Structure 1
Amino acid sequence: MVPQTALPTQSGGQDDLRGRDPVAPAASEATRLLCAGVYLDDGYRDAVIDELYVHEERIAAPSYGFDAARVLAHALRARRTELAWAAGVVALWVFAVLLTGGVFVVLVGPCLMLSIAGWLRGSSRRPPLYRRIPAFLLRWYGRILLALILAGLVVTAFGFDDSEGSGGSGGYGYSGSGGYGDGYGDSGPFGSTDSFGANDLFGPASELSLGDAGTAWGILALFAVLTAVVALQRGQFARMLTSELSPQQFANHAADPAERGQGSRFGRLVRYIRVEQHAPLVMYNASQPFCGAGIPYQPWNLSVELRPRKDSTPEAIDNAKIIHRIVPLVEALRIPSPHGSPQLAAAVRDRLRELQTDECVFLPVTGLTRRDQAPYDPVGFEAHRSGAVEEGGESRRHFLRIRVGGWSEEVVVTVFVRVHTQGGMLMLEVAPHVLLPVRQLFQDADRIAHRHRNNNWFGKAVWALTHTPRSLGRALESLGRGAVSGWKMLTGGSGGALPDGPARSVRELGSDWDASLFQDMDINRYLKSVQDRVAAGVRLALNEAGWQTDEFEQKIVNVGSGGVFIESAHGSAIGIGDKNTVTTNNNSGGSGSSNSNSAGKNGGARSGKA
C-alpha cells in the first residue's frame, strides 16, 4: 500500500509534470499499422468492411488508442484498388485466350492448381497436416506442370526440331499444319516415354496443343504482360506504404486521401463511428460487453464487511465517494519521481505519464430503434452516470476506466473498476483487459515495402514471375468476395435493422496472439501499479469515513504476481490467479495448502505469464 502522505499531488508547482497527452488515436502507430494491414491481408480487410460498413446497424466497439474510421477508409480504398486490378487481370486472361484461339487456356489448369494449393494451406503459420500435405502435393504438381508447359512453349517458339521425334513438334508432338498426327509414336509428347514417363505422370494434360511458333510467341508475350501487371500492382502497394502510409505523412490526418470521395454511406457511418468509438457511454452486446478492450487479464473481486471503528463515528460512504478517492491516487502515477531537476523529470518517457482515467457506463443496446438514438450527448451520459454509479444494476453498469497505452498504442492495458456497497458490505470488482500487439505481418509492412522498392530489377522480375501463376485465382477470388459483400448490402436489410452491439473489434482482429518479453513486463508493471493504487484508494476511503480497514488489509495481501492473493480475516484463504499456492492456519492450529486456478484460462488471458 502507498501511504497518502507519500503521494505527490498535481498542484503546487507540479503542473508541468502532470503527464503527457497521448498521441491522437487517428495518428497513432497502431492505426497506421492496421491501415497497412488491410492492404496485406484480404481476410482482415473483409472483416473490417463487414463489421463497420456492411452491418451498418452495429454500433462500433470502443477504440482504445486507434481510429476505426480511418482503418475503414483504407479498407474500402484497398478493396476498390484490388477489384480494379482483379478486373484487369481477368480481362487480360480472357483477351489472351481469345487472341490465341483458345491455346492460352493450357496455362489455366496449373495456375488454378497453385491458387487452390494456397487456399488449402491457409494463412496459418503452422497449418494442420490434413491441409498442409494436399496443399504441398497440389502446389508441386502445378509447378511441374506449368514448368513443362512453359518449356514446351519456349521450344516451340524458337523452332527447335527433333528429327527423331514427331515431325516438327518441338518436343510436343505438334505437326506443322496445326494439328497432331496419327500419334506420338515411341517418343511421346515429352520425348522418350521410356526415360521421362510424362504420359504416365500427367495423362491427358500432356496432350495439350501449343500451336505453331507464332502462337507460342504470342502466349509467352501475353504471359509477360501478365507478369508486368503483377509487378505494377506490387509496386503501387510499395509506393503507398512509403508515401501516404509512412510514419512521416500518416500523422497528417487531414491530408489522407483515403477518406475523400467515399460516398454518402461512408460519410454517414464515419460520423457514427467517430462518436461511438471514444464515447464514455458504451453500448454493448450482452454476449461480449467488453468487446474492443482486448482479452481478460485475470479479473478479480472481493467483499468486506463495513464495520465502524471504535474511536470514531463513521460517515455514510457510497460508491461515488470511493471512486473519487481512487482517482487522484491513480492519476498520481503520471508524475515522475524526483530526478534532481525539472528538466530530468520532464524527460521521463514512461507510458504511465500518459495514463488516462474516466468514468464510463455500459448500457445494453436493446430498446433502441435507431442507431442515432444512443444518448452520447453530455446531458444524456451524465443522467446515466449519476443513475448507474449507485444502483448496482445488472445491465447498466458504472465503471472507473483506467487506460495505459504502451509501445505506441500497440499494447493497451485497460482496467475497469466497479465499487458497490450493499447490505453493510463493500464489493470491489476489478476487470483488467489487454490489447496485444498488432500482427507481426502488419508490423513488417514497412520492411516489405522497403525491400521491394530497393530490390534490383532481376529480383523484382523473379518475384513477379513466381506470383503471376496465382494471379488468375486471386483475381477471381477478389471479384467473388466483392460480389458477396455487395450482395449482403443489397439484400441483408442492415440499413433498416434494429441497432445491435458490436460483434467484433477491428483492433482485436488485427492483434497478434502473443507479446514479447519486454511487452509482457510492461503489461505486468502497468497492472501492478494501477491495481495497487486502486486498493490504496479503497482503503483510504474507508479509513477517512471512519470504517475499519483491518479486514480489507488482511484480504489484499498483494496486488500482482500473476493475480491477486486475497486472504480472509478468519484463517481461510482464496487465491485468484494461475497456479497460486495458498497456505493458511486453521482454528485447530494445523496448516493446510491448496492450489487455486480460479482465474484459469478464462480469467487470465495469458496463463502463466502474468
Structure 2
Amino acid sequence: MHLEFDHSGSSLGGRIRLWCLLIFVICAPWTQGPTGRSPESFDGSPVVAALEAWLLGPRWRLWADGPVDWGVLVYQDLKFVLFVALLAFFASRLLNKGVLNWPRCLAAGVLPSILVGFIPATLTVSFADFPPVPQLFLIYVFPLPGLVFGLAVGALLALLTLGRPGRLAGRSIGAARASIRPGKRGVGMTTAQQVRAPVGSVQGDVTRYLCAGAYIDEKFADRVVEEVLADEISAVAPSPDVDLEAVARHCLAAREIRYPRDLRLAGAFGVVALFAPLWLLFVAFLVAAAGQADRRRSLSTRGQRHPDERAFLRVGVQAGVLVLVAFMFVTGFSKLPVHGILSWLFGTYMSGIPAMLASIGAALYASMTMMRHDLATDELLRTTLSREAFAWPALPLVPRGDWIKDRLAAIRQAQDGNVTVYSGYTPFMGYANAQSNWKLAVPLLPAERPTGGPRPDAPTPFTVAELVDHVRERLGAAVEGDGAPGTGDAEVSGSLLIEDRVFADGATIGDDERFMSDQDLAPVMRLSPDAVQEIILNPTGTVRHYLALHLPLWGGDVVPSVFLHFSTVGDTLHLRCSNHVLGPVAADYHLVDRLRDPLTPERRRELLLGALSRTGTALFEAPLKALRHARFEHRHGKRMEHELAALTQDPMYDLGARLSIREMALSPTYFNYFQVTDAERIISSVQLHTLAIIRKFLDARGFDTTDLRSQQQTIVNQGIIQQGGTSIVGNQAVGTGASATQNAAGHPDMAAASSE
C-alpha cells in the first residue's frame, strides 16, 4: 500500500525539515558518544582504531583538539555534508514520485548511510598504505554500522511522515482510506478513486481485454494455466459474455512466448552468480536505477507525457556514474586481505575485473532481452488484439498434449452449459459477490370478495415450473422494453440473456449421476430440460435452480445479473432475489485500446525504459520461472496422480470451481460514473418487473395479492423488507428540508395521540 501526497501543502515539508534537524542533533558532538571500540579492539593497532573512528556513523564538529586533529575534523564535517546531501537527494526522489511507504523510507536512510561509509573508505584504503587488518574488521566497519544507523534514520523519517506501521498518515489520509474502502455500489468495488482507462463499447470487448491481460499480466496468465487449466477434475466457473476458451488459449501462448526470455535471463543470472554472487544485487540496482533516470515528475496533470529524445542520454549518464562508483568500490576492496569464499562472494579476486565485466555484460544482455520481449509483445497486441483485428480472432495454437485439448473442451462445455458447480459457501461463482439481496413470502390465499361484488371463483392452482416459465417469458420483453442503457453508442449494450441455471455444491455431487460422467473427469456442466424441471419442482438439498438474467453493458465490461429462486412450501410462495454486478477488468488490460499502429518513436522510448526498469526483478525471478515452466508437465502428472487417488478415496471430494477467470481480473474501481448508474438501472428494472409479473400472475389465478403489493412497495422504495422481530426507530426525517423531533416517554401529547 502506498500513499499519494499533496506536495503543495507545507505539512509534509515541515516534517522533512524536522527530520533533518533531528539528524543534525543526533550527529552533534554533544550527542555522539565514543566513536566505537577501543584502539586495542583489533590487535592494538592505532591505525585500525583511527580508521574505525573515521568510518563509523557520520558526525560533525566545530573545533579541534590540536593541529593534527584538524584533518580529522575537516574529514568528518565533509562526510556529514555528503551524508545530508545524499539524504536530501533520496528524500527528494521519493517526494517527486509522490509515493511514501515504510520500505521506501527505510531505503532513503540506509543507502546514504552505507554510501558515506563505502565511498570514503574505498578511497582511503585504495590510496593509503595501511597494514593488513582482519576480515572481521571489514565486515564490521563497512556494512554493519551504516546499516544500523541508516535503519534508524529511515525509521525516523517513516514515523514522522507515515506514523506507526499499518497506520495511514499524511495529508491525503482520507483519500487513501477511500481508495481501499469497499464502495457502496458493490462488494470489493469503489467509486472513490478515478482511474483513466479506455472503456468497452463493442460486444466482445471484455474477452479481448482478458486475452490482452494474458500478455500484460504474467501472474494472471500463470493463475489461469496453473489453477484452472491444469486442475482437470474441477468444474469451471462460467461468466456472461466471456469466451473462456479464447482466454485460456492466449494464456498458454503467453507462457510459451515468455519461456525463451526467462531462459536467457536465467543464463545471465547464472553467469554473474558464477563469478561473484553478491554482484547480482549490483546488477539489479544498476538496471533499476538506470530505468528510473528519466522518471522525473511531469507538470502535466491531465495526461501522460512520453520520454523525450534525451531520455537515453540521461539513462546512460546515470548508469555510467553507477559503474564508476562500483569500479572504485571493487578496486579499493580488492586491495584488502580478503581471501577464500569472501573473495568469491564480493568478486575481489584479480582486482575485481572478472566480476565487473560479468556484471556489466549481464546487465546489458538482460536489458536487451527485456526490451526485445516488450517490443514483440507490443507488436502482438497492436496487430492481433486491437478492436479491428479481433473481430475474427484467430486463436493461438496450444502446446501438444491430449489433456490440454480435453480440458479446453471442458471449458467450452462450461461456457455453453447451464450448471455452476461451486466450492465453498457462496454459489454464485463467476458473477462477483452479491451487491444486494432480498426475499419475500406471499401467502397463497383466495382473493377477498369485493364489496358489493360477486364471490370470486376458487383459485387456480399452479406449479413453480409454470410460474418460472411465465416470469421468463414476460421478463425479457419487459426489460428490453425499458431500453438498455449505454453511453450513447448503440453497440455499447449487449444482448439480454435469461437462462435457467442450476447451482450445485461440488463436495456433495460425487455420487450424483446427473453431474458425473464416465467419459470426463470434470462434472457435467449441462443438464437436460427434464432434469432442470425436476430440480425446480423439488428444491431440496445442495442443488438449487435459479432463473438468471444477465445484460452485458459497456462491451461486457459491466454485467448486472439478477438471480431469482422460486419455491412453495405449503400455502406460501417464497421468492429470493440476489443481485450481482461484474465490474470492469483491470485497467492495465484496457491499455490495448491506446496502442496505435505503427509504433511511434515516443511509444518506443516508453517501452524500452519500462523494460529497463523491470529488468532487475525479472532477472531474479527468471531461474525459478524457467524451471517451473520446464517441469510443468511433470508437476501436472504428479498432481493428477494425487488428485485421482483422493477422488477414489474421499467420498466428500470437492469437484467445485474455486475461482473464476473473470473475477480473477476484476478491477477494484469503476472507470466511469455511468457504468454504475447503468448497472443500477438494470437491477432496479428487473426487480420492478419481476414483482409486477408475479402479482399479475397471482391475480389472474384468483389469489389474494394484498400482502404482495405491500411488500412490493417496500422493495421498490427502500429495497429492504423486515420479516419478524421488532424494529425501534427514534426520530427520523425523510426528504429535503424535513425535520423530526422525539418526545420524552410519558409526555401528555404522546398519550393523547395514543388514545386517539
TM-score, normalised to structure 1, is: 0.68
**Helix, strand or coil: the match of 1:359?**
strand
C-alpha displacement at 1:109, in angstroms?
2.3
SS for the counterpart of 1:247 is coil
Within-5 A mapping of 1:83-102: 83-95=259-271, 102=275
The one-letter code matched in structure 1 to 2:240 is Y
- Which is bigger in relative contact order (C-alpha 8 A, separation at least 6)? 1
Secondary structure of the structure 1 residue equivalent to 2:719: strand
1:150 matched residue in structure 2: 323
Distance 1:532 1:350 in 2: 26
Q: Say how many residue pairs are matched.
A: 477
Aligned partner (choices 634, 650, 659) of residue 504 of structure 1: 659
Q: Is the 8 A contact 1:70 1:259 kept in 2?
A: no
1:353 to 1:232, Cα distance in 2 relative to 1, 3 A: closer
Cα-to-partner distance string for 1:380-437 (whole Å, 9 max, x where unaligned): 5223212111212132212111111111111111111111111111111111122111
- 1:310-360 deviation per Cα after TM superposition (whole angstroms, max 9, x unaligned): 32221002212222222233211454579xxxxxxxx98387772111222
Match 2:709 to one of 542, 545, 553: 553
* Residues 158-557 of structure 1 aligned to structure 2 (within 5 Å): 171=328, 174=331, 180-181=334-335, 211=352, 220=360, 223-253=363-393, 255-256=394-395, 258-285=396-423, 287-309=425-447, 310=449, 311-333=456-478, 335-336=480-481, 349=490, 354-365=495-506, 366-368=509-511, 371=520, 374-376=523-525, 380-447=527-594, 454-455=601-602, 459=606, 461-482=608-629, 486=633, 488-493=635-640, 496=644, 498=647, 500-515=655-670, 516-557=672-713
For residue 446 of structure 1, report the CA deviation from its aligned partner.
Answer: 4.0
**Do the aligned residues in 1 keep the contact of 2:235 with 2:522 (CA within 8 Å)?**
no
Answer with 227-236 or 521-530: which moved more: 227-236
Please name the residue that 1:193 is paired with: none
d(CA) in 1 for partners of 2:586 and 2:698? 44
2: CA distance, partners of 1:172 / 1:358: 70
Q: Deviations over 1:248-300 (max 9, x none)?
A: 222213x22x2344432221101111111231133333533211111101111
**Aligned-partner Cα distance in 1 for 2:467–2:331:** 89
Residue 363 (structure 1) shift:
3.2
Q: Which residue of 2 aligns with 1:189?
A: none
2:236 to 60, 69, 73: 60
Q: Matches of 1:348 and 1:449 in 2, distance apart? A: 22
Determine the C-alpha separation between the residues in 1 that align with 2:503 and 2:336.
Answer: 80
C-alpha distance 432-580 of structure 1, shift in aligned 2 (>3 A)? farther
Q: Name the one with the larger strand percent.
A: 1
Distance between the aligned counterparts of 1:549 and 1:277, measured in 2? 39
Partners in 2 of 1:89 and 1:335 — Cα distance?
55
CA distance, structure 1, for counterparts of residue 464 and residue 728 of structure 2: 25
RMSD: 4.2
Alignment TM-score, normalising by the size of structure 2: 0.56
How many angstroms apart in 2 are the aligned matches of 1:457 and 1:553? 63
Distance 2:693 2:675 in 1: 27
Q: For the residues of structure 1 that align with 2:318 and 2:231, how far apart are their CA atoms?
A: 44
One-letter amino acid of the structure 1 residue matched with residue 702 of structure 2: G
Could you tell me which amino acid in structure 2 is paired with residue 401 of structure 1? Answer: A
Q: Secondary structure at the match of 1:405?
A: coil
Cα distance between partner residues in 2 of 1:348 and 1:334: 19
What is the percent sequence identity of the aligned residues? Answer: 21
Q: How far is 1:565 from its partner?
A: 3.4
Are the counterparts in 2 of residues 114 and 470 from structure 1 also a CA contact under 8 Å? no
Paired with 2:734 and 2:379, the residues of 1 have a C-alpha distance of 52
Report how far residue 115 of structure 1 moved.
Answer: 10
State the 1:544 CA deviation: 0.6
Matches of 1:246 and 1:529 in 2, distance apart? Answer: 34
Gap regions ≥5 residues in structure 1: 1-22, 118-143, 157-170, 185-203, 339-346, 592-610
Letter aligned with residue 264 of structure 1: D
Structure 2, unaligned stretches of length 5 or more?
1-199, 290-316, 339-344, 450-455, 648-653, 741-750
* Residues 590/272 of structure 1: CA separation in 2 closer, same or farther (3 Å cut): farther
Deviation at 1:470, TM superposition (A): 3.2
The equivalent of 2:97 in structure 1 is none
Alignment of 1:589-604 (within 5 A): none
Distance in 1 between residues matched to 2:606 and 2:546, nearest whole Å: 55
For 1:174 and 1:92, how far apart are their aligned partners in 2?
A: 23
SS at match of 1:277: helix
Contact 1:87–1:479 under 8 Å retained in 2:
yes
Q: Distance in 1 between matches of 2:599 and 2:439?
A: 52
1:31 has 2:190 as partner: no
Q: Secondary structure at the match of 1:303?
A: strand
- Give the partner amino acid of 2:324: A
Specify whether residues 572 and 456 from structure 1 end up closer, same or farther in structure 2 by C-alpha distance, changes over 3 A only. closer
In 1, the alpha carbon distance for the partners of 2:273 and 2:385 equals 38
| Contact 1:63/1:277, CA 8 A, preserved across alignment | yes
CA positional deviation for 1:465: 3.8
1:110 maps to what in 2? 282
> In 2, distance between residues paired with 1:443 and 1:90?
31
Q: Distance in 2 between matches of 1:245 and 1:285?
A: 33
Distance 2:286 2:428 in 1: 41
Larger Rg: 2
The letter of the residue matching 1:30 is V
Decide whether aligned partners of structure 1 residues 373 and 55 sit closer, same or farther in structure 2, where only a CA change above 3 A counts: closer
Residue 625 of structure 2 aligns to which amino acid in structure 1? S
